[in-house]
Every structure is written in structure tokens, then in C-alpha cells.
Structure 1
Amino acid sequence: MKNFLLYFLVNIITLQAGIAQQVFESSVKTDKKPWTNVQFYNDPQNFQFAIVSDRTGGARPGVFEDAVDKLNLLYPEFVMSVGDLIQGYTKDTTQIKLEWHEFNDILSHLKVPFFYLPGNHDITNQVMQQEWEKRYGRRYYSFTYKNVLFVAMDSNDDEDFSITIEQRDFVRKTLKDHPDVRWTFLFMHHPIWKYDTAQRFQEIEAALASRPHTVIAGHEHHYFHDPRDNANYYILATTGGSSAMRGARFGEFDHISWVTMTENGPVIANLQLDGILPHDISNALTNELTSSLLANTSFRHLITCNEGDEFEHGTVYFNFTNSAAQPLNINLRFYHHHQVNLQNSILDVVIPAFSDTIVALSLVAQQKSTFAALGFLQLDWSMAFTAPENPPVALDGRYKLYIRPSQPDYFAPRIPYFLDSLHVFYNSPFQFETRLTLDGTEPNSNSHMFMQSVLLLDNTTIKVKQVNEKNEATAVVDKTFKKRDLLKGVNPGVLKNGLRYSYYEGEWSAMPDFKNLKPQTYGIAHDLYVRDIAVRDDFFGLVYEGFLKITKDGLYLFRLRADDIGQLFIHEAPVFDRELSQDMRAQVGVIALRAGYHPIRLHFVEYQGSERLRLDARLAGEEDWDDIDMDQLYYLQ
């Protein structure tokens, strides 16, 4: 028996030696070797796979095709996707099939397995979801490969919270069923760790906390490495989707992510289609630099000119801000102007870290001319962070500015309404004399100086003009601030939580007059999820009616997020303010309300595509918006 075991072991050793000899064999017999070592990195448990990002959302022809060709040169063991493979956003089944045929024709050239994952362009609506399921079966699923768990999620699964409770439970069960894998990958289209998922994704993260894992998403067309809770989270850039393509440090590039699974976890490199990039190419540091750089490309400036209708002389003031911890280098090169002489045709400026700088450029007319005849100054510019400890981050471009007095609005607060009194400030970064009037007349040298603030007690229009030391001035800017009276609540009777709704159907591209239309159904709504009421995906409308409970007297801002169209009425008056909505880049209005119950009516129209209705509010002076939920909404029994 001992002889048999010895024979068996000798044969195993001989066999292993034979395999090793087949793997590496050399003619070099000397003690010195022309290599470092022969500890080859060839553990059979290690493997490499690739990830492609968004192809669509403004697909650029040929890019994804190029990626497939490059993948065939690299031979990963398989390819993962983060979605947005077709353009979608249609219910035309012929078009949907045509787009999938186009994509799969491109994919047919790939020599290794490809794992599909849905993006919002792939399953925009129920028709597209059904087509996906006919073709690919599951919208979320999992698999293991060499004892590594891969979970592909559908982040379009819930209109409001990205993933359904069922999908959350599926992921948690999958994790529970695979407790001993050596690594776990989560793939999804949207970076839902940044979204409100009603704590569903946070519950998945809690289940992930005790195991090594990596989370990978797409959708934003902007690469970002986001270390989070002792794990690496990644948002990939593009593999053909729309992009400004300003470069790697801006997170805007076409790439394939190359993942090598090692005994110590994954190592990720980004293979730009014309180069190779490290996994943290765009991160918190580069975001700090690029954000500061991009903020200055808007060229915040102020132009002051001589009084009168004809230009004689003036000054351009540039306000550059560096919010980064490194100096910012700016170079401006002005083109020749036939009517105006410039003090300098080239400006080189270094903005110290964490500082603001005002740069002045004097202008003198060769002869008097109307402002309309002057046209604009044109300049080429470049901006760069060039600290030796970091790779350079740079941009360049061209800009033009019209030679005329600026009319800047630096009034604060931005909300032009108040209750009892209001202190108004003029927060100009250009520290010149600021003259003002409150009686409707134009400011001049005899007008009062705008010192710290102006106290308003009634409706007032403030007119302001800034004047520099050369007696050059801006144009006059004015703003009207209005005093609002608190609206009293009503005594409606016996109330219950919820809103009454009326449901309509029709093809409206603008808000109809629902009073002249006959509703299809009536009911009580216990949330604002329009999909729960609608009996079809598109071309419908809703009117919600009831009462809003206000617990504190105050000036309230209301914000409506409607896809496609929404309008809010309180005490039968439309709430939203067009000028304020433009200023705040949202559908926003202001109304003064006393504590109590206030009649509310909410109109909604769904035309085509996705549908959404959300209403938020906050007191003037506060920063955070609060969702209005059914605890604040009532209907009359």
C-alpha cells in the first residue's frame, strides 16, 4: 500500500512538472536569467471581463461598432452591459423591432458572451418592456462565474423609486443564497444610490455590507468613481451615447471598462477607444478642478460705459472664481476691433486657490459711435490647472461679448414677495458705487447710495445703477418687490385624508379647460401616482381637488414637477409665477397662507412617454423642499 501511494504521488509530481514545463520552457541554462522571475499571473480562478456603457441617448454612429471590434481584439471572457442599447422612447412595435435588429446585428460580430441589462431607452414603456421580455426573458437576474456573483438590476422597475419591492426582495434573497462567493458585483443603469428609492436600495446595501462588493451604473454619460461605505461605486461614461467629449478629466469619453478579477478583488482599467485610463480618472479631486474651471467659462463680467447714447470709453470687468485648492491659470487673447482700442490685447491671469479675482480691461473709442454699431469683442481663451503633482486639467474656446452697459440683477433675496417687511440687498461682486431710487425715477449722481440693505414695508420698485471711479456706469436695473397678505383658511366640514379626482381622456398638447370636459371616472386618490388611476399609458388628464392643511402662518413656495403638464390652484387662483419659475429653473410659485385648511386644485395632462406628478413646498427663507403627502391633503366627505 505504501509503495502504491509513493508511486501515485511521484506520478502526480511528474505530471505537474510536465504541465509546468509545457507552460514555460526556455533554452537558457545559465545561473543568471534575462527575466525577473517566472511567477506567472495565471491563477485559473482569476478572469477578465469587459463592461460597455450607454450606446444611445443621442447615439453617435460607429462608436459602439468600434467598441465591438476592440473587444474582439482583447478577448474578455464575457461582456457586461449597463443598458441604453437602443434609442427607444416609442410604442411603434415595428420601430422597436427595427432598433433591436440594428443593435443585435452589431452585436453579432462580438466573439464572446454578452449580458443584456435594460436602460430607460430600452424599456421606456410597457410596449418596450413586453418586447424586452419576449426577446431576453428577465429584466433583472443573477449568475455566478468562478465563485463571483453577478447581479443585473432593472433600475426602471418603479416609476417613483427606481426598483420595486419585489426586485429588492429578489436581490436580497440572491445575496442570502450566495453567502460564500468571493466577490459580488451589482450592475444597474441608473446610479440609484443617489436617488430616492424609499430606502429599498439602502436595504440592499445593508445586505451587502458584510461582503466585498462593487456597484456599477451608467445613464449620466459622465464617468465618476464614488467610494462609498468601504466599496467602490462607479458611474460609467459612454460607449457611443451623447457626450460633450471634453476629455477624461471631465469624465466625458468613450470607453470599455476592463475588469481583472484577482484573489484580492477586481482591478478596473478604462480602455478609452483610443487609449487606456486608470479606474479613478474622474474623481472627487478632478471634479473640484473641472467644476471650478467650467464655472469660469461663462465669463461673468460687467461692462461700464460713459453716460449718453454714444460710446466714448468703457471698462470690461471679468470676475473669475477659483474654488479649487490649486492656482488656476487663465489666458485671454482679444481679436482686433476696428472701432475700439483695447488697453491690452493679451491678458494672463493666475487665480490663487480659493479666491476671487476681478480683472479690468479699458476700452477707448477711436471715434464716437452708437452702441448698436460697435458689435462685440471676440476673444480666444484657455484655462488650466497645472500643478506638478497632478495631471493638467485644461479647456480652451472662443467667447464674444457685446460692447454695451451691463444690466446685472444682483438683488437678494431672489423671491420678490414678503409679508410684513423685507431687507433687500444688492450683492454685486463688483464693488463700485451703487446708486438707487425707490420712487420710480432713474438713479443719478444725486441718488442715495445703496449701502448694506434697504428696508421695505410696502410694494416697492427699486432701481439701481453702479458707477466706477471713471464715472462710467452700468445700465439701470429694476426689480419690484410685492407685499402679500396672508390668505385665511376655510371651514370645510368633516374631512378625510386624500383628494377627489376626475379622470379624462384626450390628446392635449396644452392644458385644456377641464370644466368643459366630461370625466371618464371619479374617485378618491390616496397618493399622486397618476399611473395608479390611468387606464392607458398616454393621452389622459386628471383633476385633483380637496384641501391643503397648513400648520404655520407664512410665505410658502410651491414647486410642481409634472411630466408632461401640470398646474396648481389655491383658493381658485393659479399659483405659479413665470418669472420666478424661470429664475429657479422649475415650475414655482409663492403664496401667503395662514394656518388652516385651504382649497386646492391640481391639474395634470399626460401626452406621451413617461408620466410623473410631484408637489413640494417650503417656507420662504428655507432651503429644503418637503414633499406634500396625504397627511396634508384632505377631501370633504
Structure 2
Amino acid sequence: MKRFFIPLFLFCCNFMAAQEDFQYKLSTDSLPWTDRPFDNAPEQFQFAVVSDRTGGHRAGVFGDAMQKLNLLHPEFVMSVGDLVEGYTKDTTILNSQWSEFDSILSRLNMRFFALPGNHDISNDVMRDRWLSRYGASYYHFRYKDVLFLAFDSNDGDGVMFSRDQLDYFKHVIAEEEGVRWTLIFMHHPIWNYREFNGFDEIEAALKDRPYTVFAGHTHRYFKSQRHGRNYYVLSTTGGGSKLRSPRVGEFDHVTWVTMTPQGPELVHLQLSGIIDEDVLNEQTAPIALALHNATQIEQMMLRKSPAEGIVYLRIANTLDGEATKESSGLFYRGEDSSSGAVQNKTLRFEGRFYHNHHLSPEQDGLSLQIPPDSTVQIAIPVRIEGAVSLKDIDPLELDWTLGFESDEPFTPAFELSGILDIRPENEPAQLSLTPMDVFLETHEVELSSPFEKLQIRYTLDGSKPDADSPLYTAPIRMQETTTIKACYFDAEGGARSGVAAREYRKVVPEPAVKIKKRALAPGLRYAYYEGDFTAKLPDFNTLQPKRTGIALYSHPDSLERRMDHFALSFEGYIEVPQDGIYTFYTRSDDGSQLFVHDKLVVDNNGSHSAQVRRGNIALQKGLHPIRVAYFEDFLGETLEIGFEGAGLDRRRVPFATLFHEK
């Protein structure tokens, strides 16, 4: 009885104090305010949560959030990690990154609780730096009878918790049994990862107690439920994002939490407004996914004369007439998730052209309705003013919004928006030509287009197509090396597009090398290099390797000696089962190149995130020399090779299935 009497007594005292603070002199029977009590219960408090700052961070956003939090006056600020870019063992770089972060955080007037993400702790050097700064990577505290648990989701082999951390929090949970609520913070939404990460032990320890979980990492907001509790994956506070719309979970925000006697209540404060916590959840995610998948916008400008052009826009709504109920891995699915449905499947398109000094559309604004499973294509005449070259003219900019209207009153529409650049010089034209560009005897090439009611004319002699060139109506058959050039033509107005071109080469398969299998062993020979590799692959002929050996695995992690700025070259043999054309691919982060018989087949060079590039070559059955070059700039290390063709499906090629000379 005692534990219930004290809060009730404090509430009564506070209510009376609130009434004493509120003084007025009106003596009328009616008063110009309601009789509801002041919303200032003593156990109620407000705090804010900031999400990922890094992972392709955009300068200034996190600092702007700090300034605006000062205006909002939360009692304190929580974090879900990724405070610095990290991913380095270079202490000079780490010092610079943490100094930058400290200079931004110094603007915040209230207490800030740090928590590590994978960008903050990704190796032992970074972990030591974190511990020297903050003392611990996981911890807890209690505030106004609410238990706060801050986890380190990088504390183990991969995304998981160490046994020490699990035992620590299980002890804390048992010791703090009497708290009114538990709030859990971590970087990775670990409940969506493998089942043996240990978080199920934490959920079991909490049993029937009320709790709420916050995470980040994905850069996309999503609210779900597990065991009847709310689990939140927050979006970004400056981290990498396309920022297309809150309706697809992409927005910069701080989360405002009011801890009430009934539990936490959330709103998300976009730096330009307020976003309700249910902006994306199990019910609305299928609609957002439908919008994401149903939206296709194609654009092109045809030249009619030196002073005239035509802009073509094609907007597709790929939804069919059935209700859309399917979600996907694009959004996290909670244990109690249920399917939603798009009721009104007609897309609404609104557009407005910005002013351009040289290009003047005949109409400034557009308003279109696109029914399900249909396409709308429009042609807009454009005046071209001035004598400057088209290459020197700025693009025509179209500010557009596309989305579903809501069937519910006072409910925002599901929308995407953006700026579409329409360039007056379309080289090459938006035509798709058969990608296989080598052949043995004969070859058929197909030309396809997203645009309707436009002619495609082509040449096979290398000349630029004109209005008298052959009209494309069927696949083009060839028996010799040929270059195809093709253009769009507007049959009515005489306008034409830029040129799309591709050479198709008749080739003889590269002969297999004569080498006995017993002279070979599994794996590729490799050489490992270190240097200032930041933009493209180095010239390996000018470098001395730090280490050499045999590689049975393609992943750079197994060979690296530091996190960033290294390169690898691999050499050996690959065996193909029969004569034919083969398509090789590399998937790499950062750059890579693949050579067969010293011919560059796949060029995936440059500093970039993981991407796939392909190339073709004709090979005889048997063994062929292969060489792979790779370099790592920063953030992420991936290398994968594979091939398909000659009747074989696409397959990944582990290095252990390749060969080197003993």
C-alpha cells in the first residue's frame, strides 16, 4: 500500500501547486479556458533521440539538429550510434573525426548519452579509442523510475552481444525489477538478425514488464511490434539517405519522447516539421512499397529544329487491379505485422517547370491521373532560345510529385517527389540494345524503347540515322562485325533524338592453354599492396607487394593487413566446360577489373560502393589464364566474381575452384 500512496500524494501536491501557480481575477460564471488539469505530472519527462549521423553523412545536418534541440529543451538526448565515419585504424584520422564530432556536440546545451554503431567501433583500435573517451561501450542508468539500457551491438563476432554484455544486462534487469518502464537503445535492429545473437535472452529476462526498443543503422524508419511491445528503427540525423519521403521511411529527424504514466509517446521532429510516429508501420508499409515499385518516370527531349524541341514524359503505374498486400525486405516485418492494401490505385502526377534561360516549355504545369496497370505519355513543345550550343544549355528542371490519394479524411497522401533534369542534348538516346556484344557465327540484335508512338530508325554502316534510314520493326540479323546506330524520330513533327550506338563483334573463341591438371593446385596466386589508393586501381608494375601467397577466398578481409587503402592482384586459371560466349561479372567495393588472356573483360574500376559490372568473351573448352585486380579506398570491402553462358546459369566462382601453377 505504501508504494502506491507516495506517488498519489506527490500527484496531489503537484496538482495543488499547479493551481497555486495559476492565478486569475475573472469572476464570471464561465471562463475562457477548459477545466482540464495542467499536463505536468511529476513523473512525466521529455527527452530526444538522434539517429545515424554517418554512413555517407551530409555535412551540417547533425549540427542543425543540435541547434534545434537547444530550442526544444529536452531534459537530455539519447543516441543510437554511428557518430563518426570511422572504419580506419589510423589514429590521426580517428582524432580528426572525433574532434569534428566534439565541435558539433559542443553546441548542445543538455546531457548527451553516446552509444556505439558500426562506424564508431569496427576494429580494436576504434574500440580502444571509444573506451578511452567514454569508459564503457554498454551501460545503464535510471531516471525518474525509468530504466535506460544502452547496448553495444558490435560487441562480438559480427552483429551480436558478448556473453559478458548479456550477463551484465540480465543482472541489471533482475536488480531493477521495480521500475515503471524499461527503454532499450542499440545501433543495429538486432531482432532482425540471426537468432543466436543473444537478444532473445534479454527479451525473456524482461518477461511481462513494459519496455520499448530503439535502434538505427538501416537509415530507413520503421515501427513494428514484438511480444506486444513497440520496436522502432529510426531514420537518419544526417546519415546517407535519398530523403525521398517520410512515407517510404527516408527523412532526417530527431525523435521526441514524452515519458507518461502510461508509457512513452513519440513524435518525430523533421528538421523542417513534425512527423507522426505511425508514418510507416506494418499497415502502411505495403502502400509505401506499392508506390515505390509502381512509379516509373522516363524523360527525353527530341530536337525538331535549331529553335524547337519536344519533351517526352512517360509515367507508368505498374499496379494491377488487385489490392496490393505484399510487403518485402525493403521494410522490416514485425512479429504481429498484418497486410495493408492500396485502395485507390490511381497515381496522381503534378509537375512544374522551373525557369530556364534558353528552354521555354509551351506549358508550365502538369496534372495527370495514371490508372492502375497503365502508362501516360505526353509531348510538350519547347522553344530553344539563343544561339548557344545545346551542350552549354542548363537542363530543363521539372519539380514533380507522384503519389496515391488517401481514402481517409485528414490523412496525408502517399507521395514521392523530386527534381527531374531534362537535358537538351540526349547522347546517347534512351534505347536498349541487346547487351551481348560478341558472337561466333550469326547474331540477332533487338532494340527496345520505353516510349510509345515514336519511330526507331537505324544504320549498319556507321553513319548517323536520318529520316530515310531503315525503320526498326524486327530484330536485326548479322553475320559480320557491325556497328548499329539508332535514333528516335517523331513521325508527325520530324523531331529526332540523339544517337544510341553499339558495336557487335564476330569473334573466334580464345584457345584454351595446354597445361596438365597435375601441374595445378586450387586457388589463385595473390599479391598484397598498400598505398594511397583512393580513386582508381594502381599500376601494379610500379609497386612492390607487401605480401604474396595463395588465395582460396575472394573476400579482402581474409588477406588485408589494414582497413583502408590497399590493393590486391590475383592470377591463375579458370576452366570452362565447353566452347561458347561467356559473360563474366565482378561485384566489388571499391574498384576491380577482370582480365582473361590479358584482355580486359570487366571494368569495374573507381572508388564506389558495391556494384556489379559485366563483360563478354568467347572461350574454347578448357583452361584459360585469368587475372583480377582490386583496390580498397574506404568503407566496405567486397570482391566477388562469376560467369554465365554457353548453356550455364549465372554462378559465383569461389577462388578455391580456380587454379594456380604449383
- Matched residue, 2:325: none
Over the residues paired in the alignment, what is the CA RMSD in angstroms? 5.3
- Matched residue, 2:641: 616
- Within the alignment, does 1:350 sit opposite 2:386 as a pair? no
Aligned mates of 2:356, 2:638 — CA distance in 1: 53
Choose from 123, 127, 130 the match for 2:128: 130
Aligned mates of 2:134, 2:648 — CA distance in 1: 45
Note the C-alpha offset of 1:629: 2.7
Note the C-alpha offset of 1:270: 1.7
Note the C-alpha offset of 1:391: 0.7
- Matched residue, 1:81: 79
Aligned mates of 1:418, 1:239 — CA distance in 2: 51
- Check whether the contact 1:437–1:448 (CA below 8 A) recurs between aligned residues: yes
- Matched residue, 2:302: 303
- Within the alignment, does 1:359 sit opposite 2:378 as a pair? yes
Note the C-alpha offset of 1:359: 0.8
- Within the alignment, does 1:632 sit opposite 2:657 as a pair? yes
Note the C-alpha offset of 1:474: 1.9
Aligned mates of 1:351, 1:273 — CA distance in 2: 32
- Within the alignment, does 1:480 sit opposite 2:503 as a pair? yes
Map 1:44-63 to 2 at 5 A: 50-56=48-54, 57-60=57-60, 62-63=63-64
- Matched residue, 1:603: 629
Aligned mates of 2:53, 2:3 — CA distance in 1: 51
Choose from 385, 388, 409 the match for 2:430: 409
Note the C-alpha offset of 1:239: 3.3
1:174-223 Cα shifts (integer Å, max 9, x gaps): 788799889987644456788xxxx7467557768877986644345553
Aligned mates of 1:170, 1:346 — CA distance in 2: 62
Change (3 A) 1:175 1:486: farther
- Matched residue, 1:66: 67
- Matched residue, 1:315: 310
Aligned mates of 1:217, 1:129 — CA distance in 2: 20
Aligned mates of 1:396, 1:504 — CA distance in 2: 45
- Check whether the contact 2:268–2:276 (CA below 8 A) recurs between aligned residues: yes
Moved more, 610-619 or 229-238: 229-238
- Check whether the contact 2:288–2:414 (CA below 8 A) recurs between aligned residues: no
Note the C-alpha offset of 1:431: 2.6
Map 1:148-167 to 2 at 5 A: 150=149, 152-155=151-154, 162-163=158-159, 167=161
Note the C-alpha offset of 1:450: 1.7
Note the C-alpha offset of 1:415: 4.4
- Check whether the contact 1:311–1:370 (CA below 8 A) recurs between aligned residues: no
Alignment gaps of 5+ in structure 2: 21-32, 320-344
Alignment gaps of 5+ in structure 1: 1-8, 28-33
Map 1:210-289 to 2 at 5 A: 216-219=214-217, 221-225=219-223, 234-240=232-238, 248-249=246-247, 251-259=249-257, 267-273=265-271, 275-282=273-280, 284=285, 287-288=288-289
- Matched residue, 1:330: 350
Note the C-alpha offset of 1:357: 0.6
Aligned residues: 597
SS of residue matched to 2:306: strand
Moved more, 584-593 or 596-605: 584-593
Aligned mates of 2:212, 2:648 — CA distance in 1: 34
- Check whether the contact 2:438–2:581 (CA below 8 A) recurs between aligned residues: no
Choose from 592, 595, 606 the match for 1:569: 595
Note the C-alpha offset of 1:456: 4.4
Aligned mates of 2:477, 2:278 — CA distance in 1: 51
Moved more, 573-582 or 502-511: 573-582
Identity percentage over the alignment?
Answer: 29
- Check whether the contact 1:58–1:87 (CA below 8 A) recurs between aligned residues: no
1:269-305 Cα shifts (integer Å, max 9, x gaps): 3234565422132462574487479854xx6124252
Moved more, 399-408 or 537-546: 399-408
- Check whether the contact 1:59–1:241 (CA below 8 A) recurs between aligned residues: no
1:243-282 Cα shifts (integer Å, max 9, x gaps): 7766644645443324467899765432345654221324
- Check whether the contact 2:455–2:489 (CA below 8 A) recurs between aligned residues: yes
- Matched residue, 1:30: none
Letter in 2 for 1:408: A
Moved more, 459-468 or 585-594: 585-594
Aligned mates of 1:480, 1:574 — CA distance in 2: 16
Choose from 357, 376, 391 the match for 2:412: 391
Aligned mates of 1:123, 1:20 — CA distance in 2: 44
- Within the alignment, does 1:524 sit opposite 2:550 as a pair? yes
Letter in 1 for 2:371: P
1:597-627 Cα shifts (integer Å, max 9, x gaps): 44333333456x4462411324269999755
Note the C-alpha offset of 1:464: 2.1
Letter in 2 for 1:383: T
Aligned mates of 2:12, 2:532 — CA distance in 1: 75
Note the C-alpha offset of 1:317: 2.0
Change (3 A) 1:365 1:266: closer
Aligned mates of 1:595, 1:183 — CA distance in 2: 68
Aligned mates of 2:638, 2:425 — CA distance in 1: 43
Choose from 548, 557, 560 the match for 2:584: 557
- Matched residue, 2:29: none
Map 1:89-104 to 2 at 5 A: 91-92=91-92, 94-96=95-97, 98-99=99-100, 101-102=102-103
SS of residue matched to 2:553: coil
Choose from 525, 530, 540 the match for 1:500: 525
SS of residue matched to 1:130: helix
Change (3 A) 1:624 1:82: farther
TM-score computed with the length of structure 2 as normaliser: 0.70
Aligned mates of 2:636, 2:416 — CA distance in 1: 39
Aligned mates of 1:508, 1:447 — CA distance in 2: 48
Aligned mates of 2:256, 2:355 — CA distance in 1: 46
Aligned mates of 1:522, 1:236 — CA distance in 2: 44
Letter in 1 for 2:457: R
Change (3 A) 1:578 1:251: closer
Aligned mates of 1:593, 1:228 — CA distance in 2: 54
SS of residue matched to 2:314: strand
Aligned mates of 2:230, 2:436 — CA distance in 1: 41
1:86-107 Cα shifts (integer Å, max 9, x gaps): 4656631653563354356345
Aligned mates of 1:151, 1:622 — CA distance in 2: 54
Note the C-alpha offset of 1:559: 1.1
SS of residue matched to 1:469: coil
1:91-145 Cα shifts (integer Å, max 9, x gaps): 31653563354356345x324xx43222355346654432212122444567798
Note the C-alpha offset of 1:410: 1.6
1:396-453 Cα shifts (integer Å, max 9, x gaps): 7776645567751322434434566554322212332323333445545554432243
SS of residue matched to 1:449: coil
Aligned mates of 1:140, 1:624 — CA distance in 2: 47
SS of residue matched to 2:106: helix
- Check whether the contact 1:322–1:354 (CA below 8 A) recurs between aligned residues: yes
SS of residue matched to 1:601: strand
- Check whether the contact 1:250–1:287 (CA below 8 A) recurs between aligned residues: yes
Aligned mates of 2:642, 2:365 — CA distance in 1: 49
- Check whether the contact 1:292–1:321 (CA below 8 A) recurs between aligned residues: no
Note the C-alpha offset of 1:470: 1.7
Note the C-alpha offset of 1:60: 1.1
SS of residue matched to 1:102: helix
